[in-house]
Structures are given as structure tokens and as C-alpha cells.
Amino acid sequence: MTQPYQFHKSILREYDIRGIVGETLHEADAAALGRAFGTIVARASGKSAPVIAVGRDGRVSSPALEAALVEGLKSTGAEVVRTGVGPTPQLYFAATTLGTDGGIQVTGSHNPPHHNGFKMMLGKKSFFGAQIQEVGRISAAGDIVEGAGSVRDHDISDAYVARLLEEAVDNDLAIGWDPGNGAAGTVIGRIVAGLKGRHLVINEAVDGTFPAHHPDPTEPENLEQLQHLVAENKLDIGIAFDGDADRIGAIDAKGRIIWGDQLLAILAADLLQDKPGSTIIADVKASQVLFDEIAKLGGKPLMWKTGHSLIKTKMAETGSPLAGEMSGHIFFADRFYGFDDALYAALRLIRAVVKAGVSLTELRDRLPDTVNTPELRFPVVEEEKFAIVDKVKANLAAAGAEVDATDGVRVKNADGWWLLRASNTQAVLVARAEGSDDAALDRLKASLTGALVAAGVTPPKI
């Protein structure tokens, strides 16, 4: 029997395993994950030597964590296929097209440089929720299979790039690209070389210290360098990626940020021309404008829970060809595999602009304007966050409010809507509000604040 191993309680998250290197996450955790995950895959596949793909991002800590992970997997008898440094979607592509029994990407995603973690697949499906908790249970019990596995390297990047470039279209667009020194830098040069038009790339070198800016395109300050590039070179579009390239950010020729729900609206308009009546999924943080636009275009809008694993699962359940989140995760099952790939989404965005025959700026101008808050995050005690949302929900029900409880509470009234949900990954409550004008937004924020106060939470001024 393998020696039991206990993970730090904070790192087994809803969608992945993630921690602070040297504090809550160590090489020993990577090895223990390899042993537990290898066991789970062996039992699920019924194979004594299941095939598991492993990739990593460009963080400073990733090589050591990957090496420990591979040793853990080998000790269970797994055949490990190392795909090397690259975007998380490249690992998903490998696990999907090579017919492996599972896959793990070592990545800290969009988090600070001293963070890292693991995203997993079992077969071709996301590995999340209770499955991640099972990793902890198996490891703590020492309930591990043993074997003598093997390791081989497989550079899948050329096949991945070739698959992405199947979406390339003739165009004369001028586009700026910012991989943010993240893992997209391993393939962006080959992608751009295969595209028509004029292209400028910044921050292409993979550097786990992220010297240019933090690799999170949902934060406006991280797009400033790209905005300058677009303005100075009179570009039509700017495209940015997070640290592992599963989230996209975009700006138009005016330098305006095209938020995740706006991108999804533009992509949905294009897709619905070819697949009328399709179900398009967006998370609860998305604008009402998006859901209204999908319906107006003849699609079926579906609001669903936040979380890339949850969205992918709902897509498979409903047969949806397209889904997205405010955070910039875009999922295409139309002509693709249903996972979140920001590089693929970028090529579909270029195709949508070309097919529309107008600029991205004009496509953005066609969307109705609203006034909204950014994503608001209120720190709370981890053990209390879900209870607070439940209390708010109960108070709203007693007051007769119109509430959607898909994920937390989304309250709709004549002014617009506000949302309150508990984060699945952090000890925070997440909120957002959107109104028809400034006065409406002020009333919505007051309503949100009042609901929090009534539930025993005093939020900062919003």
C-alpha cells in the first residue's frame, strides 16, 4: 500500500488544483496527484497501462512540477505522453485527438507568477467537482495502484497549429497579438505566419515572470500595451490571451475592450447564420444584451453556471455548438471539439468579421449600450459564502423579487439586473450589476447593497 498523502485543503478546487508554489503547492503534491490521478484513470479505463497526456505552461515552477507529476503517473503503470510547453488547449487537443485515457496540464492559468496548478481531463471530458475531491480521498487513504509505467515525448504543436489554421480566411485585416509572455507564445508565430493580412506580435517570448504585464486580459490595465499597439499602427483588431491561452481578450480599432459577452454576441451572430435555432450558452455574469441578441437572431439563449467545466458539460448535454463566459472562455463545438481555446476563438472572430463585411468596430457599435459595473469581489469567510447567498435568496423570495437561481441569485427588474454568487475557487462573493443608464445602475447597486446588509454582510462602497 502506498504511503498516504494529504493535500493542503485549499488547493483542491472546483475546476482544477491550484496553489501557491512553496506554500500550499509543492513537488510532492504533483507526485501525489500523479499517483492518485493515475489510479483513477486506470480504474475508469480498465487498463493496467492507461495512456495519459501531460503538458505544461511556461511558468518558472512548471518544469519541476511536471517532472514530479510524470514520476507519480509512471508509478501507477501509466504510459505518459509528454506534449511539452504549450497552451492548455493544445493539451486538450492532444487528449482529444490521440485517443488518450486522460490528460493533465501543469498551469497557473491567469494567476500571479508564484501560483501554479493542474487542469485535468478524464477521457475527452473535463475532470472537476467531486472528481477532484476524490483525488484527495484516494491520496489520503493511500488507495493507489502500482505499476511500472513509461514516458515518451510527442510534439503535437504542428498538428495543433495546422488544425487551427483550417479556420484561416482570405482577408486584408491588420491585427495585433499579445500572448502576454504566456504559453500561447510557443505557437503564435506559426499561426500568424499562416494567416493573410498584416500582423504584429508583442510579448511573444514565453517568460514565466511575465515582465510586460500580468497575463489576464479581463483586467483593463493588462490590455493597455495592446491598445497602444493598435493605435500607433492603425490596426483593425487587437487580440490578447491569458497565461495558458484558454481565455481571450479583444479590442477594436478605437481601442475599446470587447468584453467576453460582446465577443460571444458577435460570434453567435455569425454561427446562427449557418445553424439557425442553435442553443447558445453563456454564464450568469453575461449581459442581458447578449441573451436578447441571441433570441433576436433566432437562437436559443441559455443562461448557465459560471465555470469552464460546468459550461463544457452543459454544452455536451444540450448539443450547443457555442458557449462563452464573461471571463473570456469561448467554447466551440461547431467544427471543433467543445473545449475552451482562445486561439481557435481568435480565428473564428477573424472569420466572423470577414464574413460580416464590416469592421469589428462596426460590429461592436451595433450592440446596444448599457451601463454596468465590473466584476465586484467581496472577501468573506470561506465557510460562510454559500450560506450568505442562500440567505439573500430566501429574503428575496419572501419579498417577491424576480430571481434566477441558476448560479447564486440574479435579480431582474425594470432598471436592469444584479447578480450575487459565491466563488467556487476563492473565499469571495462575486457580484455584478447592469442598468439602462447611470441612475438605473445606482438603484441596482443600492438594491444589491441592501440585500447584502440584510444578510449580515457590509460590503465596501460599490
Kindly state the cell numbers that stand for 335: 467544427
Q: Is 109 a catalytic residue?
A: yes
Q: Which of 45, 61, 75, 109 is catalytic?
A: 109
Catalytic residues: 109
